[in-house]
Structure 1
Amino acid sequence: MGSTAADPGPQIAARFRADLAAIWPEGIDDEQARLGLAVSGGPDSLALLLLARAALPGRVEAATVDHGLRPESGAEAAEVGRICEMLDVPHATLRVQVAPGNVQAQARVSRYAALSGWAAGRGLVALATGHQADDQAETLVMRLNRASGVAGLAGARPRGSAPGGDLLVLRPLLDWRRAELGEVVRAAGLVAAQDPSNGNDRFDRVRVRRALADADWLDVSALAQSAAHIAEADAALEWMAALEWRSCVRKEPMGLKYRPQAPRAVILRVVARIVRELDGEEARGGAVARVVEALVAGRPASIGNLVARPNSGGWSFARAPVRAARREG
């Protein structure tokens, strides 16, 4: 495939290839390993498309997920398809239905499910997304403002798995600024789609983005690096929680018995996993913390459909008994 006017310069392409190699060493030089790209049509994902095409010629494919939540989404997906055709990159539009409720959370679940199925069907070994440094910094500030714990403050990891599956997800742009990526797109003569919600002050992220832009004393790249460090700490706590689970959690006839040995941050994760295992639901961090505080103080507590009781050096968790319906007389 020859070069085109859309190709970024060799130095920019080399920088991207080095970033990708750092998180995908097993695939970067494997000519048989093909990479999927999640391309919405926004500036970050269009830059990802241009950079990945230059770094891995003939080895990338793109997909656009159309949630159908905005009237413009179909036209934006079609425009991505047109750009990919111009670049000689295979493209697919994946249309999904978003279940009612928490629309953002449901859209994310639906998006990754669709992308995982597409990648499997196309024989793609990994999926790259366009998360970048400004995203990391904004998320960190938002979560700090909500008093989040380590898990909430952790930034997106450069390498992970798709939710609910084992598709390898790569985020090679975490050291790139939004403005840099926008310049890659402009230099290629492309016009990125703009989500109108990005200018709506009702959204926390928009307000934080504007506040960061006005605070020239803040180093956004440093904030993004801090989010990455917290992500490493989060991974370490997960490892410790898994060890604590294997060592200190045992089955009982009616549920699970936990004899805590670790620091509180690890205990909270183990108790959250107990709730998930027995109740089938994710518990909010505040609810888990209240249960742990009660148990440490020697008091029973309830969470979801479970009852937790302190006894003989540990804590027992079981489903609460179902009360018989009162007879009408």
Structure 2
Amino acid sequence: MQIDIPCNGLDRFRQALTDLGISGPDRMLLAISGGPDSLALLLLAHRACPGQVAAATVDHQLRRESAQEAEFVGGLCCNIDVPHSILRPAQPISGNIQSSARRARYALLDQAADDQTCTFIATAHHGDDQLETMLMRLARGSGVDGMAAIRAKNGRIVRPMLGFTKAELEEICAAAGVEPVRDPSNDNPEFDRVAMRQWIAQATHPFQFERTNRTASALADAADALSWMTAVLAAERTTQVDSAITCDANALPRELQRRLLLHCIAQLEPALHPKGEAVDRLLVELDAGKTAMIGNILCKGGTRWTLTPAPPRRDGGIK
């Protein structure tokens, strides 16, 4: 099957792979849902990296049509000689549907990449997604890490489509004569991202995805620098004896104090991921020399902080 791709788009895609440090021998697993974004990724990667890509479709089994859509992707991959697998969660998706589905999806893709001996997992996030994410994070009051938004590379996850718009990806599918599937949940304004997408489409605004990508990249660099500094300070200023951690965060900038506190919390209770407001309140208490709780951790303030597991309650529970 011959796939026609506009030359400019193919050149930009190849440059994006180079910028991500992906070379010829590196195999990529493509996360393909059947929508226009991921189908454009499949078409571009197939042309740019022949023989070096495999594809996987995650069927979350949340919609009646999902199995048929996964089979559709499998048929297209067969036509262009790209190995394809359909992945399904072992347990039904429950709780917060979007968050649970995302965790299940990346776990399945990670295992499939290992099975296919793929170095990288490529997703089809694009420039419009980046703008939506940054504005959503801004609306939520996110800090530096959150405002870094969608990273072009995060471990083995790569996103070579951030330099493309949604419209361009639709055009790539149309030029190839491929009709994408349409997920009705992408038009449901009950989801935060859909509501933001609809607002952007209706509003007159000055945002441009190229500038958004530059801002996100700069914030990602800043977040990496802060993480590096936190690791250095943790080695110098924290001490752990058994299950007690002491930390000297005195005179440090507020953001580094905050990150050191999060580091100590993670050492004692890795599953605890406190929200920003809770961490800010705890910092105020510690600065005032008070004792406070977060999760199952007892935190004592002063010039040096002490964090320990909370003592058992008299009834055997955890305070």
- Give the Å deviation of 1:178: 0.7
Say if 1:134 and 1:224, in contact at 8 Å, map to a contact too: no
Question: Could you tell me which of 232, 248, 263 is aligned with 2:221?
Answer: 232
Matched ranges for 1:257-276 at <5 A:
257-261=246-250, 262-276=252-266
- Which 5+ residue runs of structure 2 have no aligned equivalent? none
Aligned-partner residue type, residue 13 of structure 2: F
Structure 1 window deviating more from structure 2 (150-159 vs 69-78): it is 150-159
The residue that corresponds to 1:290 in the other structure is 281
Deviates more, 1:207-216 or 1:76-85: 207-216
TM-score (normalizing by structure 2): 0.93
| Alignment RMSD (CA, Å) | 1.7
Equivalent of residue 38 in structure 1, options 26, 31, 42: 31
1:193 is aligned to 2:181: yes
Which of 132, 149, 161 is the equivalent residue of 1:155?
Answer: 149
Is the aligned partner of 1:304 residue 2:256? no
1:255 aligned residue = 244
SS of match in other structure, 1:145: helix
How many residues are paired up?
312
Q: Which runs of 5+ in 1 are unaligned?
A: 162-167
Equivalent residue, structure 2, for 1:325: 315
Structure 1 segment 58-73 matched on structure 2, within 5 A: 58-73=51-66
CA distance in 1, matches of 2:171, 2:38: 13
Distance 1:17 1:253 in 2: 51
CA deviation after TM superposition for structure 1 residue 99, in Å: 4.7
- Assess if the C-alpha contact under 8 Å between 2:6 and 2:172 holds in 1: no
* Residue pair 2:243, 2:268 contacting (<8 A) in 1 also: no
Q: By how many angstroms is 1:253 displaced?
A: 4.6
2:84 is aligned to: 91
Q: Which residue of 2 aligns with 1:165?
A: none
Kindly, what percent of the aligned residue pairs are identical?
A: 40
Distance 1:98 1:243, change over 3 A: farther
Q: Hey, what's the Cα distance between the residues in 2 that align with 1:285 and 1:111?
A: 26
Question: 1:185-236: per-residue Cα shift (whole Å, max 9, x none)?
Answer: 1111111121211111222212211221223432231233322222222222
User: Aligned partner of 1:287: which letter?
Assistant: A
Q: Spell out, residue by residue over 1:31-66, the C-alpha distance to the aligned partner (whole angstroms, 9 max, x if none).
A: xx3211110111111000000111011211100011
> Which one-letter code corresponds to 2:121 in the other structure?
L
Question: How far apart, CA to CA, are the structure 2 residues paired with 1:102 and 1:159?
Answer: 26
Q: CA deviation at 1:129?
A: 0.7
**Cα shift readout 1:77-113 (whole Å, capped 9, x = no counterpart):** 0110011111111110011134532222221121111
Detail structure 1 runs of 4+ shifted over 3 Å in the superposition. Answer: none
The answer to whether the Cα contact below 8 Å between 1:36 and 1:60 also exists between their aligned partners in 2 is: yes
Alpha carbons of structure 1 residues 275 and 99: separation in structure 2 relative to 1, 3 Å = farther
Output the amino acid matched with 1:37: L
Q: Is the CA contact (8 Å cut-off) linking 2:126 and 2:162 kept in structure 1?
A: yes
> Residue 48 of structure 1 contacts residue 130 of structure 1 at CA under 8 Å; is this kept in 2?
yes
Q: 1:170 to 1:318 in 2, by over 3 A?
A: same
Per the alignment, do residues 41 and 35 of structure 1 end up closer, same or farther by CA in structure 2, a change over 3 Å counting? same
2:24 aligned to which of 21, 25, 29: 29
| Equivalent residue number for residue 231 of structure 2 | 242
Residue 276 of structure 1: how far off its partner (Å):
2.0
Secondary structure, aligned partner of 2:301? strand
* Mapped partners of 1:121, 1:202: distance in 2: 36
Match of 1:142 among 133, 136, 146: 136
Q: Which moved more, 1:51-60 or 1:203-212?
A: 203-212
- Alpha carbons of 1:282 and 1:176: their partners in 2 closer, same or farther (altered >3 Å)? same
